[in-house]
Amino acid sequence: MSKERTQLNINISPELLLRVKSEAIKNGKTLTEFVTEQLVKIPTKASNELLEERLLRIEKHLDIHQNLSHQESKIGTIFTDQGAKVYGETAKKLFESYSKKKQLSNEDALRELAVYLNKYEHSNPELVFNILLGSHVLTGSEMTIAYRKGSCAMRTAISDWCNDPLEELNEAFLNAVITKSLT
């Protein structure tokens, strides 16, 4: 980060300004130092990484990840088949939409997407391509296996390929989680 500084002028309520000044004093900092410190703490990770971290925290909180063999025998997967199907359909729809925006044939779009998929060790491009072409319906088990290998490469690669956080796909990902089995 550059050492050069610039001025930020904002309008906040007098009550909030008093709280911020009070916190700065409690922490032995000037108002500028305190506000700068708080702003630096704002996460700069991509939303895909934050989504993965959220699900890992949920698993850890519910003690799923640490006891996979016990949990797998209990629930088998952390994603529902219906949720995985909707997630796959959402990915397909977004892939088709961005292919059209980029004016690419399916073949050319898949070729471009392959470059992004190849960045991930367990990306399983063949499965991803079949899902995006509509020739395979994603299952909860497949989604769980992909997730437990490190991340959902399909979601991350599509997001990178179209340079969009794809909130609709992130929502479908979270909605695919088996919530009743986790509580």
Tell me, yes or no, whether 51 and 11 share the same domain: no
Q: What letter represents residue 28's amino acid?
A: G
Tell me, yes or no, whether 21 and 77 share the same domain: no
Domain limits at 66? Answer: 47-182
**Digits of tens for pLDDT over the chain (183 positions)?**
556 777 888 888 888 888 888 888 888 888 888 888 888 776 555 555 566 666 666 656 555 444 444 444 334 688 899 999 999 999 999 999 999 999 999 999 999 999 999 988 888 899 999 999 999 999 998 988 888 776 678 988 999 999 988 899 989 988 898 865 444
Helices 81-101, 153-162: axis angle to 10 degrees equals 20
Q: Is the pTM of this model over 0.95?
A: no
Residue 8, domain CATH: 1.10.1220
Other C-beta atoms closer than 10 Å to the C-beta of 157 total: 24
What is the model's pLDDT at position 26? Answer: 83
User: How many domains does the chain contain in total?
Assistant: 2
> What does the alpha-carbon distance between residue 177 and residue 158 come to, in Å, rounded to a whole number?
20
